[in-house]
Each structure stands twice: as C-alpha cells, then as structure tokens.
Structure 1
Amino acid sequence: MRNYKLSVLFLAALLAFASCRKSDDEEVVVTPKAPETINGEITTSRTLTADRQWILDGVVLVKNNAVLTVEPGTVVRAKIGTKAALVIDKGSKLIADGTVTKPIVFTSGKDAGSRTPGDWGGIILVGKAPTNRTTAVQVEGGVALTYGTDNVPTDNSGILRYVRIEYAGIGVNDSEINALTFYAVGSGTIVENVQTVYANDDAYEFFGGTVQCKNLIAYATADDDFDFDFGFNGSIQFALALRDPAFVDAADDGNGVECDNDKDGTDALPITQPKLSNLTLIGPNNATGTASRHAYGNRWRRGAKFIFNNSIILGNQKGGLNIESDKTANFYKAGDSQFKNNIVAAYGPSFLVTATTLTTAEMQTKALADGCVVLTDVNVGLKLNNPFNLLAPNFLPSTGSPALAGTWVATTNATSVTYRGAFGTTDWTAGWANWNAQNTKY
C-alpha cells in the first residue's frame, strides 16, 4: 500500500510539472512590470532594468561620479511636455551596452504614429578630454554645466553600444539639444553601433574631445549629421547618413559633415581635425519634395583641418566637397588635411570653394591625384543596391561597384578594409537599426 501511495504522489507531481512546462514551440509570455519614472539628479549608481519601461521626466543629471547602467533591451521613453534629457556629468558614466538582438532604445513618449522630431532633448555626455578653449564653456541647450578646460585625453564617459536615440532635439531652454552630444569626451569611452532617428538638430555633435566611434547611423536629421568644433581630434570609422528629402531645418543648412575650428575661425589649439574613414553620406538626390536647406556632403570651414578618406558622398543636394575660408583651404593645399580615395557622386557640384587661395579646378585635380573618383550619374555608376529607400534601404555595393575598388588609405584609428564607404559585403545595421521607428510600438 505504501509503495502504491508513493507511486500516485510521484505521478501527480510529474503531471503538475508537465502542465506548467511550456512546449518548445510555445512562447513564454512575461508580463512586464509597471513603468517607473526617473527624474532629478542621480548621485549614486543605479541600474535601469529591461523588465519595465522607464519614463524620463525632465532633465535627469547623473553626477557625483555615479554610474547609470541600462540593461540590454531596455526602453526609455521621454515624458512629453517636460523637455526631457539625459545628461552625464564629468566623472560619471552611462553604461548602455545593448546587443544586436536587444538594442537599448531612448525614444519619444508618444504612441506610434504620432511621434515628431524634438519630442524630447537627447543624450549629453560631458567629459574631461582636451578642447581648444582656455576658459570654461557653458553646455548648449540650457543645461547648467560647463566643460572645456580639463586635459585628460583618455577620459571615460562610459559605453554606448547598440543604442537607438529617436525623435530628440528640443532644448531645455528653447535652444536645441542634439540627439547625441559629446562635450570633451575622451578616448576611454566606447561608442559603437548607435543610430539617431529624426533628430531635430544635429544627429551627433562633438565639442572638442578625443572619442573614437564606429558604426554610427544618422537617419533623417534636420541639421547636420556629424558636426565638429572646439578642437575635436577623435575619429569615426564606418558611419552612415541617410537624409529624408522632405525634412530639414528650415533655418539652417543640413550637411553630412560640418566642421569649424571655432565659430570665429581663430587659430586656437588644438585645431579641430576629425579623422574620418569609411563614411557613406546620402543626400536627397533632388527627390520630389526635397526641402530647400539640404546642402553639402562635406562642409569644412572656419580654420578647420580634416581627414576624410575611403568614403562615399552620394546625392547631396548642393554639392560634395565644400571648403570655406582661406585657412581651411591652405591646410588642404599643404597636405595638413586629407581627402583621399573617396567617391563623389553628389547631385550638386562635386567641388565648391569660397576661399581666395584655392580654385575648384585645383581641388578636383588634387582629389583625383589622391585616388578619388567623381561620378556625374549619381548612383548609376556607383551601384549601391537601394540607398535612397527610407523604409527598406540597402547600402551594400553590387558587383562591379567602384565602392569595392580603390586603394584604401591608412587613417588614424581606422582598420584597413577593401572597400570605400561604410559597407562591403556585410550589412552591420541588420537586426538592431530601425527604419520605421514612427510605427514601432513600445
């Protein structure tokens, strides 16, 4: 009798276990926890977990050497009407280390179908790396922090990897914040696989610093995709800009790259000189409905130096390489700046200059001697698969594309590859980038 009872109990336990166990084909549904709001100052380290959404209420400032960690797959939404922004002060860190299957998303608090550029501020990193400022500078956008006089090139502001920043660009005090702004951010910071979506100002702006970035996407930016100032001497390899023809800042030109030494074009040291390799900058290509302020692929001005190699300028409305100011032109003529092994397939003129010391003919002669290719038929000769499609783009070069040719030019902090532009045979945007954030339900 005892053995019989034990058998019955064992069978009942087995059946109970089986009834609770999901089959291999059945999805396990986990109910997320209620959203939680974060606001004010974060002065001790904390973690935003992926089991709930987090609501950014106003300006959230991480300070006092605190570390804000965001788990892979976490969604952070901005509370509408609060001019929300996430600001990381000097000494503190943001560890937003997502994965290709679990990207971290910072986005609008509005529902799918109703989001607009500028629904919230964006992310600001403030570091201690060098700039060319001799006195402290106020952070833009109305944020009450300063930067600029430290000198720690290897400073570390954290990790942003597999991160999307959507519908940012409103200022705290009505001065725009970029989707992602770097103030004196150092080379100890990891920035890889980041996408901005419909930024209402710049996608990425760098004020001084030495940060080294890889795999950046600027999708449908209002102003500049990549903007450099105040002695930036960091680097970017593998970056993409895709512009929406109908969307641009009505009061300012929207460029793939814009760069100044400073707003007055002084000789302040270090001279701004971004080291850029393997970028693909895609303009509107005069599509129907193209707004008037879409401008240049490259705009180098106000005494800046530049390194721009192994890249593609495609369909930019007003032109490809544009050099403004005698100082900037002289740096290019003397070889202090580089524009090598690039493909220029702009809609507007390939080369433009407003300096008195350089002509467009001289620019083109030098560019061709440095391995560049000029295409007047835009993408017909370039042969990228589907680069202008806003919802399902394909940036890979097809067989016979000149993007798969050329002699790669060594560039600071860049890894040698056998192609021009951001893509060879692998689409590194797959799985984590979002080309339809407007209709994504969070």
Structure 2
Amino acid sequence: MKSLKFKALILAVVILAASCKKSSDTDPIVDPNAKQTLTLQNGAVISGVYKNTILNVPEGNFTLKGYVYFEDGSEINIAAGATIKSDVSDKGALIIERGAKINAIGTAAKPVVFTSGKAVGQRNPGDWGGIIILGKAKTNRSTEPTIEGGVGKNFGGTVDNDNSGTLKYVRIEFAGIASQPNSEINGLTLGGVGSGTTIEYVQVAYGNDDAFEIFGGTVNAKYLVAYGTADDDFDFDFGYTGRIQFGVTLRDPSVVDPGDAGNGIECDNDGTGTNATPATRPVLSNFTFVGPNVDNTASKNHNYANRFRRASNFVLNNSVLIGWMKGGLSLESDATYNSLVGTTTTSEFKNNLLHANASSYRIGSVTVAGATADAVKTKAEGSATITLAAAADAKLTDPFNLTSPNMLPAAGSPASTGAAFAGDLTNSFFSSTTYRGAFGTTNWMAGWTNFNFTKGASGY
C-alpha cells in the first residue's frame, strides 16, 4: 500500500515538472502552415484535396479515386514506371490548380501510365476523367474563366512564363467523361498554362472526348500522339499562342463521337468567333495527320484533318495530312479565311502534303467576296504545299496500321524533303528538319507508346 502511494507521489511530481517546462526548452515549434511531404507506398489510393503538400508517387501501382485536387503551392511528383489506374465506381480525374505543379517524368523504357481501372478486355473510352492542368498565363477572356469538366476551377492570368511542372514520357488511356453536356474532361486539358511548363512525349489513347485541348496560355510541346480519339485530336481555343512540333494523329475508324464531328485539329478564337485578343494562333510544325481512310456508317462522324474557324489564326507548316474522308484544310469564318487567303495574312499553311477523299480544301460560313475553296488551294500550293491525288502518294511506310503504325517516309517519299523553317519557325524552340511530317529516319514513338489494343465484346 505504501509502495503504491509512493509511486503515485513520484508520478505527480513528474507531471507537475513537465507542465512547468517551457516549450522552447525541448519541444520543437511546429508551423501549422509548413509544407508537408508524403511518399506513397505501392498500392496506395490517391484521393481528396492536397493542400500545401508535396506528394511523391514512386514506381508501382496506384489508384486514383474521384476528383483529386492539388491546390496552389502543392505538388505531385510521379516516378518513371508508375501506373495510376482510376477507381472503377468513383471515376478519377487529376486537377492541378493554378500555382500547383505536376512532375510526371517517365522514360522511354518506363513511361508513366494513367489508365482505366478495369481489366484488360473490359476497358473503354470514358472509363475515367483525365488530367487537367491550370496555369496563370494569358487568355483572351475578360475575366478568369472556369475550366470545363465540372471541376469548378478558374485559370489564366498575366504570367506567360508560368511553370506548372513537367510531363515527359506519359501515356493517358481511356479517359474522357462528361460531367454535363458540352463540358467534358479530355485526355489532357491545359488551361492558361505557361511556357515555363515542359510537355514532351505524351500519348493520349482512346479518349472519349478530345485528346489534347488547350484553352489559352503559351505552353509549348513536342512529341505528342493522339490515337483512337472520339472527338478532336487537338483543340485550341481562348487565345492559345504556343508552339508544338512533332505531333501525330491516328484515327480508329470504329471510334468517333456519335454526337459530334472528330477532327485532327479544331481551332477557335472563342466559342462565338469574336476578335478578342490575344488571338488564338497556334504555331505548329511537323505533324502527321492520319485519318480513318474508310467511309462507312461506323466512321461517318470523322470529319476534317484541320478545321480552323471562329476567327482563329494559325501556322501549320511542314506537315503531312492523309486519309481524311470529308476534308483536309477547312476555313470556316471570314476572319479565318482572310488570315490565310485575304488581306491580314497572319496565318500560314506551307510546305505540306495534303490528301482528302473529298474536298482537300473547303470553306464554310465564309461571306468574303470571291472566297472559294479553289482560292484556298491556290494559296496553299503557292506556298509549297503539294496536293496529293491519293493517300498512298505520300509514301509513308505503314501509316494506317492501328496496332503497329509506321509513319516514316518510305523510299521516294515526298515527305523526305521539302521542309522549311522561316518566320515563326526560326524560334529556338523548333528543331529544323529537312523532312515533312513527324518523322524522318527515327521512330520516336518506339518503346513508350502503346498501340496494342484489341477490342473484344466488352472492350479493350
């Protein structure tokens, strides 16, 4: 009994002494606003909102559950060889807000893969959302717009060299869900992303909406692949003025949006074709646009190789466009027509190879006096573009092969020569080539891309 009383007395003294110590004597001062660093274990779930956090995702397999937000000041770093699959019931989407960063840096041997959580043979376009990156670069909106997709976040600003991180050797598969009509999440959506961001070697495969959609901003990119897209392969809007070199589109005839028209490029200044500035003017070189090359019921909504409309401007040079059933180069507003053929000459379509089964050149909703599709053709051919009689005349090795495409020029191909780099293309961003299209003698898609998707009764 005495022993218990003595122990209780000693304990009371210890507690009293501890309570009298100053926290500065031994206890660290914890800043509640300090950034925390978290490293996931293989098999972990990524979900919720990350605030003031650096999240490290190592090589392994992970689940993306629901809409996941990285707020201003947060960062997600994804290592080579990481595979992130969407939760099946709570479809995932990754949203990088303004001031946050994503660094998903794979290698040709170990790409970073975002994909469906369903088993092989059951995967389909639209199994999950996609990746949205928002930055602080300029748009042509008078206020900071809200990105589509139902995520409720704004983008844009005045920092044209804003840095949202790095995507390199990344695959995005089976993305594209619509939260509401005409408000979809694309494979990769970029809103007001600045030129300090690095985007290279990114493939979007079997997306249910656009593969790459860019709203405003100044971000540059190289080595982009759109494969089996349901809607547009590349969509530019809201004053995008960046540069892209080495792009590929490969359409699957059996996959297209049943309610919309799928194009290689769709480009608008804005949704109503105003003259808001900065004007949408992507500067593009060395693209290979491979259309469905068939015309049947399943492919009826596959549309044009290039659809420039609603007062947009553009530069598209040194490229190859083949296999498009409805049209090649389509200009669909007075301002867009004038920018290439008329008086403003702010657009360029030079040194290209172009074939379409119908209407290689066309116009729509153009009221300019004397405007014709033949005038567009004359302008293009006067700028060293060659209009081909057949897709085979491009002499690419095996461009329409859906499971193992080879888009390199074959012997005697007119794509092997004819490129020129002048004007906007003298910018140091561009690598000068002698060849037209995305490839010379090296297949830069080898190793990290995936075209091995065979559709069964339940999916891919």
- TM superposition score normalised by structure 2: 0.86
Partner SS, residue 299 of structure 2: coil
| Structure 2 residue 435 is the aligned partner of structure 1 residue 419 | yes
Rounded Cα–Cα distance in structure 2 between residues aligned with 1:362 and 1:142: 42
Cα deviations by residue, 1:249-282 (Å, 9 ceiling, x for unpaired): 0111000000000011101000000000000011
Letter in 2 for 1:385: T
Within the candidate set 394, 403, 408, 1:391 is matched to: 403
- Paired position in structure 1 for 2:260: 252
Q: Does the residue aligned with 2:381 lie in a helix, a strand or coil?
A: helix
Deviation by residue 1:37-73 (Cα, 9 ceiling, x = unmatched): 11001120110111x3110000110113111000001
SS at match of 1:213: strand
Pick aligned residue for 1:45 from 42, 54, 57: 54
Q: Which residue of 1 aligns with 2:220?
A: 212
Quick one: which amino acid aligns to residue 225 of structure 1?
A: D
Using the TM superposition, give the Cα deviation of residue 34 of structure 1 relative to its aligned residue in structure 2, in angstroms.
Answer: 5.1
The secondary structure found in structure 1 opposite 2:279 is coil
Structure 1 unaligned regions, length at least 5: 1-31
Query: What's 1:35 paired with?
Result: 43
Matches within 5 A, 1:78-97: 78-97=86-105
CA distance in 2, matches of 1:141, 1:365: 41
Which of these residues, 167, 175, 179, is aligned with residue 160 of structure 1?
Answer: 167
Q: Which of residues 354, 374, 378 is equivalent to 1:365?
A: 378
Question: Which position in structure 1 is the counterpart of 2:143?
Answer: 135
Residue in 2 that maps onto 1:336: 346
Cα distance in 1, alignment partners of residues 255 and 297 from structure 2: 9
Distance 1:428 1:345 in 2: 24
Q: Please report the TM-score for the alignment, with normalisation by the length of structure 1.
A: 0.89
Which one is further off, 117-126 or 407-416?
Answer: 407-416
Give the distance between the partners of 1:57 and 1:301, measured in 2 at CA: 37
The farther-off stretch of 79-88 and 189-198 is 79-88
Secondary structure in structure 2 of the residue aligned to 1:138: coil
CA distance in 2, matches of 1:401, 1:287: 25
CA drift of 1:172 comes to: 4.1
- Greater displacement, 403-412 / 251-260: 403-412
Distance 2:102 2:41 in 1: 23
- Counterparts of 1:109-188 in structure 2, within 5 Å, are 109-148=117-156, 150-172=157-179, 175-188=183-196
**Alpha carbons of structure 1 residues 341 and 54: separation in structure 2 relative to 1, 3 Å:** same
Equivalent residue of 2:193, what SS?
coil
Partners of 1:347 and 1:191 in 2: CA distance: 33
**Deviation of 1:135 (Å):** 0.9
CA RMSD of aligned residues (A): 1.5
Is 1:402 the counterpart of 2:418? The answer is: no
Once residues 159 and 438 of structure 1 are traced to their aligned partners in structure 2, the CA distance between those partners, rounded to angstroms, is: 31
Shift of 1:378: 1.2
- Structure 2 residue corresponding to 1:374, chosen from 387, 406, 409: 387
The farther-off stretch of 132-141 and 159-168 is: 132-141
Mean Cα displacement is larger for which, 41-50 or 202-211? 41-50
Extract unaligned runs of 5+ from structure 2.
1-39, 456-460
Provide the C-alpha distance between the structure 2 equivalents of 1:347 and 1:197, rounded to a whole number of angstroms.
Answer: 25
Whose Rg is larger? 2
Shift of 1:83: 2.5
Cross-structure match for 1:105:
113
Q: Which of structure 1's runs of 4+ aligned residues deviate more than 4 A?
A: 287-290
Identify which of 367, 371, 382 aligns with 1:356.
367
How much does 1:287 deviate? 5.7
Q: Does the 8 Å contact 1:115/1:438 carry over to 2?
A: no
Residues 288 and 267 (structure 1), Cα distance of their counterparts in 2 relative to 1, 3 Å cut: closer
Residues 104, 112 of structure 2: 8 Å contact kept: yes
Cα separation, 1, equivalents of 2:360 and 2:278: 29
* Equivalent residues of 1:246, 1:289 under 8 A apart: no
2:280 to 265, 272, 275: 272
% identical equivalent positions: 49
Residues 267 and 312, structure 2, Cα contact 8 Å, conserved in 1? yes
Distance 1:156 1:92 in 2: 9
* AA matched with 1:392: S
Letter in 1 for 2:153: L
Count of matched residue pairs: 405
Partner SS state of residue 137, structure 1 = coil
Could you say what secondary structure the match of 2:122 adopts? coil
Shift of 1:33: 6.7
